[in-house]
Amino acid sequence: MVSYSMSDIYILKEIGAQLKQMRLNRNVSQAKLAEKSGLSRKAISDIERNGRGSMMSMVQMLRALEKLEMLNLFSTEVLVSPIQIAKMYGKQRKKASKSK
């Protein structure tokens, strides 16, 4: 679990450690993950060890590990209040006007 008191570098290292654990839980070697993700084995090692890598690389790793659903945490659902819905319906046209 991360907190605001942690440094950015520490958080990146934690993300790398979590990606490594996901890989190990699937019993996949770095070489096999590299082959499946299109990344180099060194890139995977760098991400796992110290969190150094791009967001693209992280997405490639998650896809190869079949864990893309973890990115759903970044999705925000836009909720419309009942009052906003009522206002929208009040402005909807009920019928077409006569053509001139």
pLDDT one-digit tens code per residue, 9-58: 999 999 999 999 999 999 999 999 999 999 999 999 999 999 999 999 99
State pTM to two decimals.
0.73
Higher pLDDT, 23 or 90: 23
Residues found in the chain: 100
Name the token pair of 27.
């019993």
12, burial (CB in 10 Å: exposed 0-12, middle 13-18, buried 19+): middle
What is the distance between the alpha carbons of residues 44 and 51, in angstroms, rounded to a whole number? 9
